Amino acid sequence: MNEPGVSEPGVSEPGVNEPADGAAVVLIGAPGAGKTRTGKRLARLLHVPFIDTDKRIVERHGTIAEIFAEHGESHFRSIERDVVAEALVERAVVTLGGGAVLDPRTQADLAQYPVVQLTVSAEAVEARISSGKRPLLADGIGAWQALVDARQPIYDRLSSFAIDTSSQPLDRVAQQIAHWLERQQS
């Protein structure tokens, strides 16, 4: 029986959770689910580097909002695809931007790695996304819910484990992911 807030939505194939090289684990989920903050904590627990693909994009190309405004979403997604592919070959905790999973090549790549989906309720995320730094969420929680509804089937299909971050400390979320990874390797 799973703990509250924890589920295993996908069925992984033998060996999928034990990549010889590449990401130790990949975190996916809706914007505001806590992927970056959880990823940093998890990387410390696993003693591996942490890679936030959105941060890498910003470091190399400018803010995501600027890329969207100046070049459009398709240009951003192309950059994102390249950064994600590069990050996946590193032995690290890798967090993907919420829409990175839309790319079919990224979806295929993720089949090689343990993928954890972080979920969050609309009520919990509303305060988290109020900063205005997320271009696809300029219309607030309604836009967020539409994104989640559209992407949820993809998140569910790609992930082998899901955990809700709405009401539990992210340190606990990271510990639960680490325990799940340990069970997958035994």
Q: Work out the pLDDT band at 154, boundaries 50, 70, 90.
A: very high
Note the pLDDT of residue 134: 56
Q: What is the mean pLDDT of residues 54-70?
A: 95
Annotated binding residues for ATP: 32-37, 134, 168
Q: Are strands 25-29 and 115-119 parallel, antiparallel or unpaired?
A: parallel
Write out the CATH class of domain 6-185.
alpha beta
State the pTM of this model. 0.84
Note the pLDDT of residue 90: 94
**Residue 59 reports pLDDT greater than 70:** yes
Note the pLDDT of residue 130: 60
Q: What is the mean pLDDT of residues 139-166?
A: 93
How do residues 88-147 score in pLDDT, each as one tens digit? 999 999 999 989 999 999 999 999 999 999 999 998 888 766 655 555 556 678 888 998
* 185 against 161, higher pLDDT: 161
Note the pLDDT of residue 21: 66
Annotated binding residues: 32-37, 54, 77, 98, 134, 151, 168
Cβ-proximal residues to 113 (8 Å cutoff; 6+ apart), any chain:
16, 17, 19, 22, 23, 25, 26, 88
- Work out the percent of the chain whose per-residue pLDDT is above 90: 71
Annotated binding residues for Mg(2+): 36
- Work out the percent of the chain whose per-residue pLDDT is above 70: 82
Annotated binding residues for substrate: 54, 77, 98, 151
Note the pLDDT of residue 133: 59
Of residues 31, 134, 27, the one with CA closest to residue 73? 134
Mean pLDDT computed over every residue of the chain: 86
How do residues 31-52 score in pLDDT, each as one tens digit? 889 999 999 999 999 999 999 9
